[in-house]
C-alpha cells in the first residue's frame, strides 16, 4: 500500500530545515502502524514458569513529640516501603504514591526516588494506601498495599517517651510471574531480588555488561537514620513452628487412618460373631 | 390559626372562636406556660400555613389565642415587634428587594460591604494624564515622526523605544563573494545570475520561499530553490569555518536539505490529506484487523502458558490480561478483591490460573487465593475450625514472614488439617454405621468401650498431654477389660449411652 510507505516516510526521524508538517491525523495513523510493528519485538518474550520475587517490608514508625506536642500535632511519623534486607527497591519501583487522610493538604504524596518514604506529623491514626508503580519493563500494573498508622503503643503503660517509637512493619514479597526476559536479565544479580531455581532447559542469553550505575543517590536503606527501629524478619522461626505443627498433624492423621482401617475390619468380625 | 376558627366566613371575630376554644382547652392548657410545648404546638400549627419568617411572633400570638393563655405583653405587643422589624427591613446601601433575596435576614458573614458600593477612585496617588505626543520608531529608516496617545504619569512621559520595534527581525542571509562562488558554489543546474537573484530575493522576502518561487523569473519549484539556497549556505559555512568540527553542530551541517525526501514527503502528505472518505474507512478497517491479529497472536501465546481444560471464559480472560492496551489498568487488589475470577477455577495447576493472569502480586495475596481454593469445598464452620487448630498449634493464621517456603508449608499444613477433619468425619460415620449395625444384630459383643470423638473432634490439640497421654491410659484400660481389643481413646467419658449399656451388661 502506497499509503503505508508514505506514512512510514512521514515518521522517519529526519528533520530538515523545511517546516515539519505532521497533521494530527497522520501522526495517529502512523503511530498505530508503528505500534503494530513494534509489538512484535519488545517485551513479548517472557520466561515461562519462572517467577522472581522481591521481599519488602512496609510500615510506619511514629515518635511522640513530647514537650513540643500540641493538640493537633502530637506525633511525628514516617511511612515507608523498603527492601526486606534494606536493599534498594529503585531497581523495580519507579515511584510510590502514599494516599493519606483527606485532612492532610495534598493527601496524595508521590515519592519519585528511593528511599520510598514519607514523613509527616499529626495526631490521628488512619489507613494509608500505598501504591507501587513499577518501571516500564517490569510491569504495567500497579500494586496496592494498605497499612494502618499507629501512633499510640499497644499497652497503655503510662506516659509515652519520645525515645521509644511505635514501629509497625509488615513483611511481604512482591512476586513477578513470568517476567520479561529483558527485566529478568537486568535484575537477576541484584541484591534485592530473590531468584529461585530456574527450570531446566531455560536458555537465557548471556548477561550483558553490568548496568552502568550512574552517580545517583543511594536508594538502599542500610544507613537509614531509622535503621535501628527496623524489625528483623526471619523465616526460620516460622518454618520451625510450621514443621512442628505439620508433624503433629501428620501423626494424628496416621493414627486416624489406622483406626479407620481397623474399623473397616470390625463389621466382618461382628457379623461373623452374629452368624454363629 | 384560620382552620381552627369554626366560622365559615372571615367576618366573625377572633374573639368568638377563641372563646370557644378557651372553654374546651383553656383549663388544661393554662398549665402550659411559656413553654417548649407551646412553641411546639405553634410550630405544628405553623406547618399548615406557609411559613413566613416575619410572622413567627404573630403565630405565637394565634396559638396563645387558641389555647386561651394570657398574652404576655398586652397592649403594646403587636406594635413593638413591628416597630423593631421596620428598621431591620431597610439596611443601608442596598435596596429592600435585594435584601429580601437573602431571606430578609442579615447574612452571618457580612458579604455586602456597604462601604464598597459607593466608592470613589483614590485620588491621592499619581497624577495621570493622556497626551497626544510624537514618537520615533527605531525600526524605521526614514525618520518618520508619527503621533499617538501617551499615558503621562506626573508630567513625565514614558521613555524607551517604540514597543513594537523589537519585532523587526530579519534573517541573516549569507553573502558570498565572486571568488567564493567560483571556488565552492558552482553548480550545473544553476547559473550565477540565478543564484544571485535567489539570494537577493531571500534577503528581501525573509526566506519565504513560496513568495520567492512565485516571483522567481525562471520557473523553479520551491524545493529546488530551497535546495540551492541551503546547499550554498552549507558549503559557505563549511568553507569559512576554520575546521570542520566547529560547524559540525550547526543544524545546516548536521542535517542537510534533502530535496528528494522533501518532495516525497510533501507528496505523501497531500495524499494523506486528500484521502477520500472511503479510503479512510478502508484504512481504519485494516488497522483494526491488524490489531485483532496481534491480539489473537498474543492470546495464543497466553493460552499456551495456561494449561487448563478448555474453558472459554479463561481464554477470554487471558486475552484481556495480555492485551497491552487495556483501557482500564486493573490493579492487584488485596484479599478483599472479588473481581479476580478465582472462584470459578478449580485449582489443579500448582499456581491457580488467576495468579498466572496477574503479572505481579503479593505473596500474601497469593497465599490467600490458594487457601481459598484449597478450602473451596469446606463450609465456613470448617474454616473456623481450621483456624482454631492452627492457633492451638501455635501457628499464625497469616504468617508473619511470608516467604515462598513459609507460604508453601502453611498451605500444606492447612491441607493436612483439612484431611484430618475429613478422616475424623469418616471415622465418625464408620463408627455410627458399625454401632447401628451392632444394635440391630443384637449381639452382645464383649464391651468395647466405644471411643467417641464427638466431644473431642473439634479440639484434638487442646492439650497434648491429655490427647497423647490418654493413649497410655486407654491401653491400660484395654489390658484390664478385654485383651486383644484396641482402645486409644482419651479417657473422656463416652458421650453416648450405648457404650455404658454395654459396659453394664458386661458387668
Lowest model confidence (mean pLDDT) among A36-40, B208-212, B327-331: B327-331
pLDDT class for A97, splitting at 50, 70, 90? very high
Contact status, residue A130 vs residue A79, Cβ threshold 8 Å: yes
Alpha carbons B441 and B430: distance in angstroms, whole number = 16
Q: Using the 8-state DSSP alphabet, how is residue B149 labeled?
A: E
Q: How confident is the model at residue B60 (pLDDT cuts 50, 70, 90)?
A: low
Confidence of residue B481 (pLDDT cuts 50, 70, 90): very low
Among A49-53, A193-197, B83-87, B290-294, name the one with the lowest average pLDDT: B83-87
What pLDDT score was predicted for residue B77? 44
Higher pLDDT, B243 or B320: B243
Residue B51 DSSP label: P
ipTM above 0.90?
A: no
Residue B321 has pLDDT above 70, yes or no: no
Does B320 score more than 50 pLDDT?
no
Task: Calculate how close chain A gets to B363, using CA atoms only, in Å.
Answer: 5
pLDDT at B305: 61
CA closest to B359 among chain A residues: A177
What would the grid cell of residue B135 be?
514618537
Q: Give the gap in angstroms from C-alpha A208 to the nearest C-alpha of chain B.
A: 25
Arithmetic mean of pLDDT, A213-219: 57
Lowest-confidence segment of A104-108, A218-222, B337-341 by average pLDDT: B337-341
Positive or negative, the CA dihedral A142, A144, A149, A155 is negative
CB contact under 8 A, A44 and B301: yes
Closest Cβ opposite residue A26 in set B272, B395, B417: B272
User: Between residues B301 and B286, which one has the greater pLDDT?
Assistant: B286
What does the pLDDT read at residue A74?
87
Number of helices (H) and strands (E), helices first, in chain A?
Answer: 4, 8
| pLDDT of amino acid B86 | 45
Q: In this prediction, what percent of chain B has a pLDDT beyond 90?
A: 13
Q: Which residues contact A101 (CB under 8 A, 6 or more apart)?
A: A107, A122, A124, A126
Q: Using an 8 Å Cβ cutoff, are B360 and A139 in contact? A: yes
Cα(A143)–Cα(A131) distance, integer angstroms: 6
Mutate to test the interface with B, among A57, A147, A259, A272 (most CBs of B within 10 A): A259
Report the percent of chain A where pLDDT is more than 90.
15
CB pair distance less than 8 Å for A264 and B424: no
Instruction: Report CB contact under 8 Å: A2, B271.
Output: yes
Confidence of residue B56 (pLDDT cuts 50, 70, 90): low
Distance from CA of B264 to the nearest CA of A (A): 8
Pairwise pLDDT comparison (B493 vs B67), residue with the higher score: B67
- The whole model's pTM is what? 0.44
Q: How far apart are CA B263 and CA B270, in angstroms?
A: 11
Candidates A235, A260, A272, partner chain B, best to mutate (most B CBs within 10 A)? A235
| Residue B287 pLDDT | 94
| Least reliable range by pLDDT among A181-185, A264-268, B181-185 | A264-268
pLDDT, mean of residues A167-183: 87
Inter-chain Cβ pairs, chain A and chain B, closer than 8 A: 222
* pLDDT of A79: 92
Is the CB of residue A249 less than 8 Å away from at least one CB of chain B?
A: yes
- Mean pLDDT lowest for which of A147-156, A225-234, B439-448, B464-473? B464-473
Cβ-count burial A35-56 (b if 16+ within 10 Å, e if not) = eeeebeeebeebbeebbbbbbb
Please report the pLDDT score of residue B419 as a whole number.
Answer: 87
Amino acid at each position: 500500500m502506497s499509503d503505508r510507505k508514505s506514512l512510514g516516510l512521514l515518521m522517519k526521524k529526519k528533520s530538515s530545515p523545511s517546516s515539519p508538517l505532521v497533521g494530527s491525523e497522520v501522526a495517529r495513523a502512523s503511530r498505530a502502524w508503528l505500534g503494530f510493528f513494534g509489538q512484535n519485538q519488545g517485551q513479548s518474550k517472557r520466561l515461562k514458569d519462572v517467577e522472581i520475587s522481591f521481599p519488602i517490608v512496609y510500615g510506619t514508625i511514629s515518635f511522640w513529640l513530647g514537650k513540643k506536642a500540641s493538640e493537633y500535632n502530637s506525633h511525628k511519623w514516617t511511612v515507608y516501603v523498603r527492601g526486606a534486607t534494606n536493599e534498594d527497591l529503585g531497581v523495580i519501583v519507579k515511584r510510590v504514591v502514599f494516599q493519606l487522610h483527606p485532612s492532610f493538604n495534598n493527601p496524595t504524596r508521590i515519592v519519585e526516588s528511593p528511599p520510598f518514604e514519607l514523613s509527616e506529623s499529626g495526631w490521628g491514626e488512619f489507613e494509608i494506601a500505598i501504591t507501587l508503580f513499577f518501571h516500564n519493563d517490569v510491569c504495567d500494573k500497579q500494586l496496592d498495599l494498605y497499612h494502618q498508622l499507629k501512633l499510640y503503643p499497644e499497652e497503655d503503660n503510662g506516659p509515652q517517651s519520645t525515645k521509644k517509637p511505635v514501629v509497625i512493619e509488615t513483611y511481604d514479597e512482591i512476586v513477578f510471574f513470568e517476567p520479561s526476559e529483558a527485566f529478568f536479565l537486568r535484575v537477576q544479580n541484584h541484591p534485592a531480588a530473590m531468584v529461585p531455581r530456574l527450570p531446566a532447559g531455560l536458555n537465557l542469553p548471556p548477561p550483558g555488561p553490568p548496568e552502568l550505575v550512574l552517580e545517583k543517590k543511594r536508594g538502599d536503606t542500610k544507613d537509614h537514620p531509622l535503621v535501628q527501629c527496623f524489625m528483623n524478619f526471619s523465616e526460620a522461626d516460622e518454618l520451625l513452628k510450621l514443621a512442628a505443627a505439620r508433624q503433629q498433624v501428620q501423626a494424628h492423621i496416621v493414627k486416624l487412618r489406622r483406626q479407620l482401617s481397623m474399623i473397616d475390619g470390625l463389621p466382618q468380625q461382628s457379623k461373623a460373631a452374629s452368624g454363629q | 390559626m384560620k382552620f381552627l376558627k369554626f366560622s365559615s366566613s372571615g367576618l366573625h371575630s377572633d374573639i368568638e372562636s377563641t372563646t370557644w376554644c378557651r372553654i374546651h382547652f383553656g383549663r388544661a392548657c393554662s398549665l402550659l406556660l411559656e413553654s417548649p410545648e407551646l412553641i411546639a404546638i405553634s410550630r405544628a400549627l405553623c406547618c399548615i400555613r406557609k411559613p413566613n419568617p416575619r410572622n413567627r411572633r404573630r403565630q405565637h400570638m394565634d396559638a396563645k389565642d387558641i389555647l386561651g393563655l394570657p398574652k404576655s405583653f398586652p397592649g403594646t405587643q403587636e406594635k413593638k415587634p413591628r416597630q423593631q422589624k421596620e428598621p431591620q427591613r431597610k439596611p443601608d446601601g442596598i435596596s429592600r428587594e435585594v435584601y429580601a433575596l437573602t431571606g430578609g435576614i442579615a447574612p452571618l458573614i457580612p458579604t455586602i460591604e456597604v462601604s464598597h458600593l459607593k466608592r470613589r477612585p483614590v485620588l491621592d496617588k499619581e497624577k495621570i494624564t493622556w497626551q497626544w505626543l510624537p514618537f520615533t520608531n527605531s525600526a524605521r529608516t526614514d525618520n518618520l515622526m508619527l503621533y499617538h496617545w501617551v499615558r503621562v504619569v506626573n508630567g513625565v512621559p514614558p521613555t524607551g523605544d517604540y514597543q513594537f520595534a523589537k519585532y523587526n527581525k530579519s534573517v541573516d542571509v549569507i553573502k558570498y563573494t565572486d571568488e567564493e562562488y567560483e571556488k565552492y558554489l558552482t553548480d550545473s543546474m544553476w547559473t550565477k545570475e540565478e543564484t544571485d537573484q535567489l539570494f537577493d530575493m531571500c534577503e528581501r522576502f525573509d526566506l519565504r520561499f513560496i513568495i520567492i518561487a512565485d516571483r522567481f523569473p525562471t520557473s523553479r519549484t520551491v524545493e529546488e530553490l530551497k535546495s540551492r539556497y541551503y546547499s550554498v549556505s552549507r558549503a559557505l559555512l563549511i568553507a569559512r569555518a576554520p575546521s570542520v568540527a566547529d560547524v559540525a553542530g550547526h543544524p545546516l551541517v548536521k542535517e542537510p536539505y534533502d530535496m528528494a525526501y522533501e518532495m516525497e514527503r510533501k507528496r505523501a502528505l497531500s495524499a494523506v490529506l486528500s484521502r477520500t472518505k472511503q479510503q479512510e474507512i478502508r484504512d481504519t478497517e485494516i488497522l483494526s484487523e491488524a490489531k485483532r491479529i496481534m491480539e489473537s497472536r498474543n492470546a495464543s501465546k497466553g493460552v499456551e502458558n495456561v494449561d487448563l481444560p478448555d474453558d472459554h471464559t479463561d481464554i477470554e480472560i487471558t486475552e484481556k490480561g495480555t492485551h497491552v492496551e487495556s483501557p482500564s489498568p486493573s490493579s492487584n487488589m488485596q484479599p478483599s478483591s472479588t473481581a479476580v475470577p478465582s472462584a470459578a477455577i478449580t485449582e489443579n495447576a500448582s499456581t491457580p490460573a488467576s495468579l498466572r493472569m496477574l503479572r505481579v502480586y503479593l505473596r500474601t495475596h497469593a497465599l490467600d487465593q490458594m487457601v481459598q481454593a484449597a478450602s473451596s469445598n469446606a463450609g465456613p464452620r470448617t474454616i473456623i475450625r481450621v483456624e482454631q487448630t492452627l492457633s492451638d498449634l501455635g501457628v499464625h493464621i497469616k504468617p508473619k514472614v511470608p516467604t515462598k517456603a513459609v507460604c508453601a508449608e502453611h498451605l500444606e499444613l492447612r491441607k493436612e488439617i483439612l484431611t484430618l477433619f475429613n478422616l475424623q468425619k469418616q471415622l465418625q460415620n464408620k463408627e455410627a454405621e458399625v454401632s447401628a449395625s451392632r444394635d440391630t444384630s443384637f449381639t452382645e459383643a464383649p464391651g468395647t468401650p466405644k471411643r467417641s470423638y464427638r466431644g473431642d473432634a473439634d479440639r484434638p490439640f487442646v492439650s497434648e498431654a491429655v490427647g497423647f497421654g490418654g493413649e497410655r491410659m486407654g491401653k491400660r484400660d484395654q489390658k484390664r477389660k478385654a485383651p486383644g481389643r484396641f482402645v486409644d481413646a482419651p479417657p473422656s467419658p463416652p458421650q453416648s449411652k450405648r457404650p455404658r449399656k454395654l459396659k453394664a451388661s458386661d458387668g
